[in-house]
Structure 1
Amino acid sequence: MSARVPAAAGRVALDGGRVDAALGGGLALAGCHEIYGPTATALALMLALASARSGPILWLADPRGDDGRLYGAGLAELGGDPGRLWLVAAGAALPMLRAAAEAQRCAALACLVIEAGSASAVDLTVTRRLQLAAAASGVFTLLLRAGPPRPSAALTRWQARAAPARRLAGNAPGPPRLALTLERQRGGPADLYLELEWDRDRRRFLPANTIAQPAIPIGAAFGRRAADVGRVPAVAARRALRPASSAQSTWRAA
């Protein structure tokens, strides 16, 4: 395994190599970052844990979405404490953005996640405000989007998808892996691709190409159909099927 380059202060290390170098030493914590794709939820949770910041992870969700609410046991499987996850069912886009503006003033937050989906209200002006507030307060802000990419002032834009897990003993799938594409970066290079494996014990990413074991699609060891393989990385993006209530605070595992 190749030596990893530590992230610069105030940044989250991803691959410890060329992508981190292109980002100026890692993903900046004092900024707003957009995430698209089927594993956006998983990536947001991993980034919040990898930031090594203490304090709550405040998640602003839309209770009308089809995905249900976050699953506390899934966060525990990633190495996090479900008691840190504060889930707020903010309702429509405008109440969600007002809540985000208030949250960005609280430097005690480890991370703010805004589940904006395809809301048209989240336009260039809104993302500029989110970025300026994140830079001023230092609150790590992740904006989860859906649909085609829109004009944005966020520092970076990522596409996140599941990648095949490596093979463990007995053909069991290994830790979750994500395939990420850096599609846009303000003032820096983009169009970069990387595959990362999540280390739950140390709560950090490992570049998949430094781990020599062969890979198998997630779920292949359990006889799932080929069409189902690789859709989600283990339990990272799993959600409870019950819709969120109108107001949620801390979501704890049962």
Structure 2
Amino acid sequence: MRAAHDVSALRQMLAGLEAERLPGASSAFSLGATGPDSVLADTLARGALHEIYAAEGADMPAASGFALALALRSAQAEGEAPPYPRPIVWVRQDFLDSEAGRLDAHGLRDLGLDPSRLILVRARDPEQALRAAGDAVRCAALGAVLLEPWGEPKALDLTATRRLALRAGASGVTLFLLRMAAKPSASVAVTRWLVRPILSNPLPADAPGAPAFAVALLRHRGGLQGHDWNLEWDHESCSFRDIAPLSRPVVSVPAGKPARQDAGAQEAAGDVRPFRRAG
């Protein structure tokens, strides 16, 4: 047991040393909320690797939403207002469709991403997902890359994360590693986040509020870890804001399914069509 503990500690130390040797990103992005930005100002690196973990299985949708929100923030050039023109690549292992559900075009638009700007890559196994993400992150024309494998694949080791981070540093494209059904392990990620959903503040007439997250910064290369924030996401400005205390419990989404719109209403609201397979 002692030897296993020593090996684990050595891996964590090596991960930190490797992170310090990675090429520095040319710029940084913020979350847009006063709480985290007062701590993390100019320290969230573009062109780097960031990790987002779901706290529990039921928290996977929240972790996905938070990861996409970070990707949108990192894709924003200085002085640029949404919507952002550069596409985002999401590399997703097929198995996640049955475990967490498929990505929904309406949901993406509600988070502030035009579905036409998303390139969805479905991989049959972790090895294929790593290869696809490694190729994508080399493309400097992208806004960001999300990599979503399932579980704790052996292929996703310290060497693999270092390779991905080096490619991100060379291209300037930020890579977000979304971890589901996995425990934190040695990597060269600049930041590591743990995400849970929380109740949202209601809109007028008790309409469902904005997506709300409880986030914990588990790791930061600059030593700023150990902070927790409650945040909500504004899809119009593509920015986080500190969540106000709730006066009473509310649910963040309707309890039942939304009413189906007729064709005229869909056309008036702007129809969002499902993804279509390319190639």
Q: Given the alignment of the two structures, is residue 204 of structure 1 paired with residue 247 of structure 2, yes or no?
A: no
Give, as a single letter, the amino acid of the residue that structure 1 aligns with 2:196.
R
Q: Given the alignment of the two structures, is residue 121 of structure 1 paired with residue 144 of structure 2, yes or no?
A: no
1:218 to 251, 257, 264: 251
Contact 2:34–2:241, Cα closer than 8 Å, also in 1:
no
Change (3 A) 1:217 1:126: farther
1:144 to 160, 178, 184: 178
Partners of 1:96 and 1:165 lie apart in 2 by 33
Deviation at 1:213, TM superposition (A): 6.3
Deviation at 1:218, TM superposition (A): 2.1
Change (3 A) 1:13 1:108: same
Partners of 1:145 and 1:103 lie apart in 2 by 18
Give, as a single letter, the amino acid of the residue that structure 2 aligns with 1:11.
A
Give, as a single letter, the amino acid of the residue that structure 1 aligns with 2:189.
A
Q: Structure 1, residues 165-216: CA drift from partner, whole Å, max 9, x if none?
A: 01222222211111100001123220110111111111111111xx466363
TM, length-normalised to structure 1: 0.77
SS across alignment from 2:133: helix
SS across alignment from 1:88: strand
SS across alignment from 2:100: coil
Q: Structure 1, residues 84-138: CA drift from partner, whole Å, max 9, x if none?
A: 1111112111111111111111001111000022223111111111112111211
Identity %: 39
Give, as a single letter, the amino acid of the residue that structure 1 aligns with 2:89.
L
Partners of 1:102 and 1:84 lie apart in 2 by 18
1:155 to 190, 197, 200: 190
Q: Structure 1, residues 58-86: CA drift from partner, whole Å, max 9, x if none?
A: 01111122223211110111122010111
Give, as a single letter, the amino acid of the residue that structure 1 aligns with 2:231.
L
Q: Given the alignment of the two structures, is residue 40 of structure 1 paired with residue 63 of structure 2, yes or no?
A: yes
Partners of 1:194 and 1:89 lie apart in 2 by 32
Flag structure 1 segments of 5+ consecutive residues without an equivalent: 1-8, 225-243
Give, as a single letter, the amino acid of the residue that structure 1 aligns with 2:122.
A
Match of 1:28 in 2: 45
Contact 1:113–1:141, Cα closer than 8 Å, also in 2:
yes
Change (3 A) 1:76 1:47: same
Root-mean-square deviation (CA), in Å? 2.7
Partners of 1:137 and 1:13 lie apart in 2 by 20
Q: Given the alignment of the two structures, is residue 194 of structure 1 paired with residue 211 of structure 2, yes or no?
A: no
Which protein, 1 or 2, shows the higher relative CO under an 8 Å CA cutoff with sep ≥ 6?
1
Give, as a single letter, the amino acid of the residue that structure 1 aligns with 2:176.
L
Deviation at 1:18, TM superposition (A): 5.3
Give, as a single letter, the amino acid of the residue that structure 1 aligns with 2:90.
W
Name the structure where helix makes up a greater proportion of residues: 2
Give, as a single letter, the amino acid of the residue that structure 2 aligns with 1:125.
T
Q: Given the alignment of the two structures, is residue 79 of structure 1 paired with residue 96 of structure 2, yes or no?
A: no
Count of aligned pairs between the two proteins:
220
Considering only CA atoms, is the larger Rg found in Structure 1 or Structure 2? 2
Contact 1:56–1:85, Cα closer than 8 Å, also in 2:
yes
Give, as a single letter, the amino acid of the residue that structure 1 aligns with 2:51.
E
Partners of 1:56 and 1:44 lie apart in 2 by 15
TM, length-normalised to structure 2: 0.71
Match of 2:266 in 1: none
Match of 1:3 in 2: none
